[in-house]
Structure 1
Amino acid sequence: MKKRSKNIESIYPLSPMQEGMLFHTLYSPESSAYFDQLSGTLHGELNTNAFEQAWQQVVNRHAVLRTLFIWEKGKKPVQVVRKNVKLPWTTHDWQHLTPAVRDERLELFLEEDRKKGFVLNQAPLMRCSLIQLSDNTHQFTLSLHHLLTDGWSTPILLKEVWSFYAALCQGQHLHLPPLRPYRDYIAWLQQQDKTAAEHFWKERLQSFTMPTALRVEKNTQSESENHPEQQVQLSVATTAQLQTFAKQHHVTLNTLVQGAWALLLSRYSGEPDVVFGVTVSGRAIDLDGIDTMLGMFINTLPMRVEVQPDTLLLPWLQQLHALHLEQEAYAYTPLVEIQQWSDVPAGIPLFNNILVFENYPEDTSENKPNNTLQISDFRVIDQTNYPLTVTAEPDAKFCIRIEYDNEVFDDTTITRLLGHVQTLLEGIVTHPQRRLSELPLLTKTEYQQVVVDWNNTKADYPLDMCLHQLFEAQVTQTPEAIAVVFEEQQLTYRELNSKANQIAYYLRRVGIARNQFVGILKERGIDFLAAMLGILKAGGAFLPIDPSYPNERVRYMVTDSQIQILITRRTLFDKLANDLEEGNYLRHLLCFDGEKGELGKIYQFYNGTALANEPKNNPTHVNESTDIAYMLYTSGSTGLPKGTMVRHNGAVNHIYAEFDELAFHQNTAFLQSAPSSSDISVWQFLAPLLIGGRTVIVDFETVCDSVKLFKIIKSQQATLIELVPVVMQGVLDQVAQWPPSERALPALEWAMVTGEAVSAPLVNQWLSTYPKIKLVNAYGPTEAADDICQAVFDKPLPKEQINVPIGKPLANLSIYVLEPQQQLLPIGVYGEICVAGVGVGAGYWRNEEKTRASFVNNPYADGPYSNVIYRTGDLGRWLPDGSLEFIGRLDHQVKIRGFRIELGEIEAALGQSPFVKENAVVVHEDESTGKQLVAFCVPEPEQVIDKTELRGFLTERLPDYMIPSAFVTLEAMPLTPNGKLDRRALSTLSVSHD
């Protein structure tokens, strides 16, 4: 120890940045983070002895290059400078290798060199290698730990090496002026006022509680931890434009890059308040000679930026520049202390990506050895500890380079991201007067892809005809074919048409107006279908009212819709009559059963007996295809349902699109299983009737009984079924207990699942049970005439897949994924699913405010039906193959402890557990615990859910803040009358937090 102490020049503390690097290096010894590798090819006559001596003399001259690091538990680490060290130097002769083998071996050599790393308590933490490739060609590599120097130091170091080399080649002894030692900088740091810095950073980061996430899909294909790089170079012209723009508006190139990155983060994350890391040189301080010192001066700081969509670009950039200048006064502050002063919880980083602007004072002419020796293929490999590092390199061609962890990001995501940075930078100089929300993000290629190519859905359908006209045309073709079956009843096309015509004539006689709503308060059955068709034939629009609804809801629908005519059963209406408010518009009742009695004193009453006397021929047509065909009441955010109006041409387009997608034919037998109040029911009722097929109606009790439902599917030889996930799951669980011969469905061609998100295990269970029957995952809102896209699966999904795609746009529809200001979002980035095209409905009945908010002008319109976009309120994204992925409702996004959480993401992860059959995650809130995530789970048959195991299962897949605080086991999920999950019912259940 005494012998070693004679070789010690000085001992002093570490800078905050060095402390952070040391910690990460010790914490992840296998990582290549903070290992710097510079390599290049030297062409020309090289004096190898002089070259080696030049490097040794530079090491002798600079204390930082003779530094090692000592740390002991419980003590602050120190750096120790040795008086003398021998620079490790290796030489290799590869002249005998072919160029191809040489290149391959070089990459392997560099990789193995990085893997060696350094022993941090042994100096020097650098080494050199020289490989002779030919008489006048050498490959040189310098490896050193980032603890010693920063990027600013590199050109200073190289300049000195070449100066020493030139002198040695001429037999001269070079005398360079002494440089200020690095320990002076450490001393300066220790004198700074932390109180002022703490006040500044606390104020700057006040109320920021979560790191800004890019929210792009984690790469699950990578098998090894690598940090590859990609880059994009701007043209000389664009680079010049950026330089001119910055100079003209008194900002820096760095500000423009920071602005572009802040905009990208905001668009990707959906947040107007973003934070990312920035690396500062650390040399903008009052310390003489710091510009020419070697050492680790850089620091990484948080950059918080407000990205308000209506802000004008130019003033925003100037403000960003001012913020950066303001931060420089406190650029010495250790990041670990800034983190402690922030509101971000301990253990969670302030940011997950950093931006490096390389503005080194490099004079390339001075860094060349001499006129006879040239350098090519010069490259620097340096890896940070962050998942994503963006480096901006100003040159004649501005370069943006991204180094990324391929355990987090895949290559194609980074390629797209680089294109978006380039687009934003070009947009900044091209459109300086625009607002932030108006700057484009997508590249021209991606714009063409997501707006044009993936929405190239034009199809020739009879969109100028109404639903009932197409039905009448089919009646003419197949009058005696069976049109509808319900229990023991069935009607031919001719019989059904006659029954509908009689209802139409009755409605005409009582004065129905074109587009007038007529209510149908009745159980699903043949009479219900006839009423639908009769209302359309009369010129009106039907309004289904589910008799299972509470009287209060039925009363509201009758009153709000202002219907004057109601088709019902006497016994159903009697239950409602006393609850109807005075002032409602109801005047006429058509009851298929009973006598008028006392009702005749209040309403004009008509029954089935009288209806039989009406004509049976087709009435004259009065509608256009743009008229309203039906209105459905859907749940409203205010608690009151809202009436959604759908046009004939939208409904026709949906049905004909499905004809193509699902290969409908005259033997199609479609199971009508959906409640009458759902959009699914409309096309289930009508689609078979427009092509000569058969509608098979099953009542609610049958749908809820898996055995009865299966028997109907099989006995009626249904070729197409469409079920909500919980019903399909029930059928699969039931038939799993039967032998193959009993569960076989030889007539079934397609099985659709719709209504809410489907799990990957359900898809795989169906396809393992019925491998020859394709499963269709359909998605669409009532406001766009039901399905707008769907995915077909004929083979199981990968086990690791969580979300099930919802497919590609149906015919004559365009789908966009947008951010709140209607800017397009790129592939892989979550936003609101929006739809345009003929299917988009007429808005909400008597609710102009909601209609204006949800039905908006389409800036990407390209056809006669595409002028309006419907904003679904659903969260999704484009996948690389042009299909869409649904993740959940925008209003199911919650913030807990500052973290934005998608409940659907947690539910999808829970769905992967072999013990969980169904699940739902909701937020419970009370005064004592605040907001808490609660997971409700239905176990698989004969399984018991262990909460501890389930929590561990999720911990492997989700961050801590997404793990529910309570797990509740249920026998079955509560359902709405439509068969969908009743989240409100879950929210009312009492919960004991674990």
Structure 2
Amino acid sequence: MTPETWPRTDGPRTAARDNWPPALVPADRPRRAGHEPLASALLRGELPAPPALPGVTPQDALTACVAALLHRLTGQDRIALALERPGTAPEFAGFAVTGRPTLADLAAGRVTISAAPEEGTPPVGLRITDGTDAPGSSAAPVPAPAHELHLTVHPRADGWTTELRYDERLFDRETVQRLADHLVTLTTDAARTPDRLVALLRLLTAEQTHHTLVEWNRTVVPLPDKACLHDAFEERAAREPGAVAVIQGERQWTYGEINASANRLAHHLREAGVAPDTRVGLCLERSASLLTGVLGILKAGGAYVPLDPDYPAKRLATMLDGTSCAVVVTDTVRAAALPATETPRPLVLLDVDTDALARHPAHDPVPAAGPDNLCYIIHTSGSTGQPKPIALRHRGVVNNLADLNSRYTVGDQDRVLALSSPSFDMSVYEFLGITAAGGTVVVPDPERAKDVAHWARLLVERDITVWNSAPALLELLTDHLERTGHGRLGRLRLIMLGGDWIPVGLPDRIRAFAGHVRFIALGGATEASIHSTVYEVEKTDPDWTSIPYGRPMANQRTYILDDFLQPVPPGVAGELHLAGTGLARGYLERPELTGERFLDWSYDGVSDRLYRTGDLARHRPDGLIELLGRKDFQVKIHGLRVELTEIEAVLRGHEEVKDAAAAAVTSAAGGSRLVAYAVPHRGRAPRPEELRAHLAQLLPAFMVPGSVRVLDAMPLNANGKLDRKALTALAPEVPAADLPGAPEPAQLPVGDWEQRIAAVWQETLRTGPVGRDSDFFALGGDSMSAQRCLPGIDPELRWAELYKYSTVRALAAHLTARGRTPAGP
């Protein structure tokens, strides 16, 4: 069919301007205000003949193809397009991609927008000539560069010739060429299968698909011969039993000592019935005893279940019963904090049962577990209100630790500072990763474990070479170093951060104190053995909004897929899926949840078992992954995963609460803080502090919102669903007395303690002048900002005390009653 014989149809319907945002195609560089005039460049090409759609002209079929491409590239369901045709006035065409439309549905549903979209002119324009114009002829003048992308098509008998103009300050030529290729592929697929859903039309050629799925995942390296977590420690102990494994305070423990103690514990546990995949609770503080407990459980063949003694008793009971722990390894202090559970279980007290343990042999037990047996169970926040137990296997964790040690030449001269809670999977590297390389674990003094000044001294005094933590802890250290004018960080050579977003400026800030340090960004999920991606930050780019997520690690694979599990092109957002050796067995005794998050997948001959992370990400053209955010209501608070729905479920469990919601908001001090909202039953008005206390009885400290606001009703959107954006705007305000400006005379801090506390809170939380009855949590405080301020108030002050006495007046009275006096400034 030639242009002269194209049928004409009635004009499209019109629609109001509302809800037609600009379709911003992912660009190579940030868009900036005042971007006119555009820097126009030209790319010529060809398109195949348009698909034949019933009752639709070829021009409209092509327009629908362009709209479909924009939908697939941007993820927007409402697409606005500037459309120009010979002999007609330019119009703004709108396409609503609702339900599961085909290309014909999309074309038939086109409307003419009566006014321009939000920003004046759609960023993408399409000009269809009448066939008499030839590319570059005077009859086809170059369009004014009014759009970021402007496609001009010249029909011919067997297809189209194209001119694609673009703003070269936003797009690289290679990016625009890929975009043009995607349009060719989509149009070709639509012509071949016109009834296919828009969401299923191909964007990638077979070659591009192979490159994305296979070439970017060529990560296979040989695994260590010994593939159980305790094997490397045993070998080091046999080879050099006198080498130092753990240092805490003035005490040192050798590989030989810890291995012998762990062996006795292993024999004892086997005698108690521990076998491969048996779950054993482990409730100890960070210490040499913790490493002994971990190794003893693993050597017995079991899997350890870390139980943080600071967790609420009800949560610990849920974790113990949910994992069916056969026995708990602990000590007398921690045993007192353990709750009664539905199934009583025996305890092994490492500080009391010394005679019973000493009766067992000190030699390595005969191996019981293999690489595919469980090694530990880590709990993460769960959307149902219950923590999720993730079942990890030896093979995946060994692979991760071996990759890090090999990649960064970690060896027997290295030392790591153990800062992570045993309930956080990054702690696995601190105790088992560094010792797998023959290095040494340095453990902070228990009473100074959260004192950043203590960390800074240990870094120098103990010759720490490796730092491994969530970004928030390194930020604490960097803040301290900058505030105190600290000197160089001794021998620190390697920083590995994972679990949360890394501030773009952090690498340069810490390099002011450790100039030659290698700065490593790690990404992944607990469900995939700690880390799955890696990126070394050699230098930062001023245009970065975040540190790149990286590339898949050894024997790991990553896929970025759309909602139909199809690979998305570079630059396009999709859900990050993890695969490879690191994948967990699943969620312990939770087959429905395992089936929901772990899936068997196949596409174009590539098959794999995947974990759906819920993270939004995209590939750069070279395969580097950038993390963009979340698809769901999960957030990270100081590197720890928090399901907002779990907080909401617990809050709804309060007898006076009818409905509840939670959100993460940006605090005045930077980073995220949790806030919660409650709608009470009619006639009831629970106080926020009562609701916060209820949450503290069931949730670990990092999940307890600092602020709870009682509302008459939840904000709803037009569809009657919770409006989370409006909810965030309702974050509890700082009390008027605490806003910048002098408090009333009666509210002024009185005495040395109150004045010190108020000054520290004001500096730490970056708020206005603080009054006597100002509440730490109402000011935006949380567990991480508490770590910043506790040493400045009193080095012996503990988190639990601050939580209980959360106002300036109450905390000062408590410290005075305890007989403490303020130290010097």
Where on the TM-score scale, by shorter chain, does this alignment land: which range? 0.7 to 0.9
* Match of residue 510 from structure 1: 272
Q: Contact 1:814–1:837 at 8 Å: present in 2 too?
A: yes
Contact 2:286–2:418 (8 Å) recurs in 1: no
Q: Say which of 585, 588, 606 aligns to 1:842.
A: 585
For 1:150-174, what per-residue CA distance to the aligned partner results, in whole angstroms no more than 9, with x for missing partners? xx99xxxxxxxxxxxxxxxxxxxxx
Residue 398 of structure 2 is matched in structure 1 by 652
Q: Tell me the CA shift for residue 615 of structure 1.
A: 1.2
d(CA) in 2 for partners of 1:307 and 1:476?
A: 65
Q: CA deviation at 1:464?
A: 6.1
Note the 1:728-747 alignment, pairs <5 A.
Answer: 728-738=474-484, 743-747=487-491
**C-alpha displacement of 1:970:** 5.2
Structure 1 residue 767: Cα displacement: 2.0
1:883 aligns with 2:624: yes
Q: Read off the aligned partner of 1:760 and give its amino acid letter.
A: V
Q: Tell me how far 1:232 sits from its aligned partner.
A: 5.1
1:867 aligns with 2:672: no
Counterpart of 2:393, as a letter, is R
Q: Which amino acid aligns with 2:78?
A: V
Q: Show CA shifts across 1:826-861 (max 9, x none).
A: 222222222111011111112222211211123269
Label 1:910 to 1:924 Cα distance change in 2 as closer, same or farther (>3 A). closer
User: What amino acid does structure 1 have at the position aligned with 2:115?
Assistant: L
Shift of 1:757: 0.6
1:714 paired to 2:714: no
Taking only aligned residues, the RMSD between alpha carbons, in angstroms, comes to 4.1
Matched residue of 1:875: which SS?
strand
Q: Aligned-pair distance for 1:672?
A: 1.8
- Deviation string 1:211-240 (CA, Å, 9 cap, x unpaired) is 4443445446999843424445347xxx3x
Correspondence for 2:537: 793
Residues 352, 920 of structure 1: alpha-carbon distance in 2 compared, 3 angstrom cutoff: farther
**Which amino acid is the alignment partner of residue 270 of structure 1?**
G
Q: What is the match of residue 357 of structure 1? A: 128
Tell whether 2:7 aligns with 1:246: no
Q: Which residue of 2 aligns with 1:757?
A: 501
Deviations along 1:60-109, one digit per CA (max 9) or x if unpaired, are xxxxxxxxxxxxxxxxxxxxxxxxxxxxxxxxxxxxxxxxxxxxxxxxxx
1:382 paired residue number: 143
User: Match of 1:274, as an amino acid?
Assistant: R
Give the Å deviation of 1:519: 0.7
Residue of structure 1 equivalent to 2:96: 305
Separation in structure 2 between the aligned mates of residue 224 and residue 350 of structure 1, nearest angstrom: 12
Residue segments in structure 1 that go unaligned for 5+ positions in a row: 1-151, 154-191, 284-296, 340-346, 368-374, 595-606, 895-902, 948-967, 990-994
Is the CA contact (8 Å cut-off) linking 1:655 and 1:683 kept in structure 2?
Answer: yes
**2:81 — aligned with what?**
277
Structure-2 residue corresponding to 1:685: 431
Match of 2:176 in 1: 414
Q: Matched residue of 2:370: which SS?
A: coil
Offset at residue 691 of structure 1 (A): 2.1
1:393 aligns with 2:170: no
Aligned residues, how many? 680
CA distance in 2 between counterparts of 1:940 and 1:229 reads: 54
Q: CA contact under 8 A between 1:463 and 1:652: conserved in structure 2?
A: no
8 Å CA contact 1:654–1:786 kept in 2: the answer is yes
Cα distance 1:212–1:570, how it changes in 2: closer, same or farther (>3 A)? same
Instruction: Deviation per CA, 1:449-469: give whole Å up to 9, x if none.
Output: 432332221111226621222
* C-alpha contact 1:257 1:392 (8 A) present in aligned 2: no
Q: Judging changes above 3 Å, is the alpha-carbon distance between structure 1 residues 738 and 939 closer, same or farther for their aligned structure 2 residues? A: closer
Helix, strand or coil for the counterpart of 1:817? strand
Change in Cα spacing, 1:635 to 1:500, as seen in structure 2 (3 Å) is: same
How far off is 1:973 after superposition? 4.6
Give the SS at the match of 2:266.
helix
Change (3 A) 1:946 1:973: closer
The C-alpha deviation readout for 1:288-307, integer Å capped at 9, x for no partner, is xxxxxxxxx32313322325
Give, in whole Å, the separation in 1 of the partners of 2:225 and 2:672: 40
Residue aligned with 2:557, SS: strand
**Equivalence for 1:532:** 294
**Normalised by the size of structure 2, how large is the TM-score?**
0.74
Secondary structure of the structure 2 residue equivalent to 1:476: helix
Matching of residues 140-159 of structure 1 within 5 Å: none
* SS of equivalent residue, structure 2 residue 490: coil
Task: Provide, for residues 361-392 of structure 1, a one-character-per-residue CA deviation record: whole Å limited to 9, x for no partner.
Answer: 5388xx9xxxxxxx979862112533333333
Task: Decide whether aligned partners of structure 1 residues 737 and 591 sit closer, same or farther in structure 2, where only a CA change above 3 A counts.
Answer: same
Q: Deviations over 1:11-66 (max 9, x none)?
A: xxxxxxxxxxxxxxxxxxxxxxxxxxxxxxxxxxxxxxxxxxxxxxxxxxxxxxxx
Letter in 1 for 2:440: R
Q: Is the 8 A contact 1:704 1:727 kept in 2?
A: no
Distance 2:625 2:617 in 1: 7
Give the superposition deviation at 1:821.
1.7
* Mapping of residues 380-779 of structure 1, within 5 Å: 380-383=141-144, 385-395=146-156, 396-432=158-194, 434-462=196-224, 465-577=227-339, 580-582=340-342, 584=343, 586-594=344-352, 607-698=353-444, 702-738=448-484, 743-779=487-523
2:468 alignment partner AA: E
Residue 858 of structure 1: SS of its match in structure 2? strand
Going from structure 1 to structure 2, the CA distance change for 1:881 and 1:363 (only over 3 Å counts) comes to closer
The within-5 A match list for 1:76-95 is none
Secondary structure at the aligned position of 2:141 is classed as strand
2:422 counterpart letter in structure 1:
S
User: How many Å apart are 1:762 and its aligned residue?
Assistant: 1.6
| Greater mean deviation of Cα atoms: 544-553 or 919-928 | 919-928
Where does structure 2 lack aligned partners over 5 or more consecutive residues? 5-9, 636-643, 645-662, 678-710, 716-725, 735-758, 769-776, 789-798, 807-825
CA contact (8 A) 1:520 1:568 kept: yes
Report if aligned partners of 2:83, 2:90 keep a CA contact under 8 Å in 1: yes
Q: 1:798 to 1:664 in 2, by over 3 A?
A: same
**Whole-angstrom distance in 2 between the partners of 1:687 and 1:693:** 9
Q: Could you tell me which of 846, 851, 854 is aligned with 2:594?
A: 851
Q: Do the aligned residues in 2 keep the contact of 1:251 with 1:317 (CA within 8 Å)?
A: no
Name the CA distance, whole Å, in 2 between partners of 1:917 and 1:363: 60
Q: 3-state SS of the aligned residue for 2:467?
A: strand
User: What's the CA shift string for 1:182-227, capped at 9, x where partnerless?
Assistant: xxxxxxxxxx99xx97xx625xx88x46444434454469998434
Alignment check: 8 A CA contact 2:571 2:620 kept: yes
Contact 2:374 2:392 in 1 (8 A): yes
Deviations 1:672-718 (A, max 9, x none): 21000011011211012222211222356534211101111222211
5 Å-filtered alignment, 1:303-382, equals: 303-306=94-97, 308=99, 316-324=102-110, 334-335=114-115, 348=119, 351-358=122-129, 360=130, 362=132, 380-382=141-143
C-alpha distance in 2 between matches for 1:671 and 1:944: 27
Alpha-carbon offset, residue 444 of structure 1:
4.5
Q: 1:806 to 1:970 in 2, by over 3 A?
A: farther
Q: Compare CA radii of gyration and give the structure with the larger one.
A: 1
- Cα distance in 2 for partners of 1:252, 1:946 equals 63
SS of the aligned residue for 1:549 comes to: coil
- The one-letter amino acid paired with 1:804 is I
Q: Tell me how far apart the structure 2 counterparts of residues 630 and 302 of structure 1 sit (CA, whole Å).
A: 56
Matched-pair contact (CA < 8 Å) for 1:514–1:540: yes
Q: How much does 1:777 deviate?
A: 1.7
**Larger deviation, residues 221-230 vs 409-418:** 221-230
Letter in 2 for 1:624: G
Hey, what's the Cα distance between the residues in 2 that align with 1:557 and 1:943?
34
CA deviations 1:626-658 (Å, max 9, x no partner) are: 111111000112221100111111001101110
- Equivalents in 2 of 1:872, 1:624: separation in Å? 27
Give the SS at the match of 1:556. Answer: helix
**Could you say if the C-alpha distance between residues 738 and 975 of structure 1 is closer, same or farther in structure 2, counting changes exceeding 3 Å?**
closer
Alpha-carbon distance in structure 2 between the residues aligned to 1:701 and 1:889? 37
CA 1:363–1:452: 2 relative to 1, 3 Å:
closer
In 2 relative to 1, CA 924–970 (structure 1 residues): closer, same or farther, beyond 3 Å? same
Letter in 2 for 1:919: G
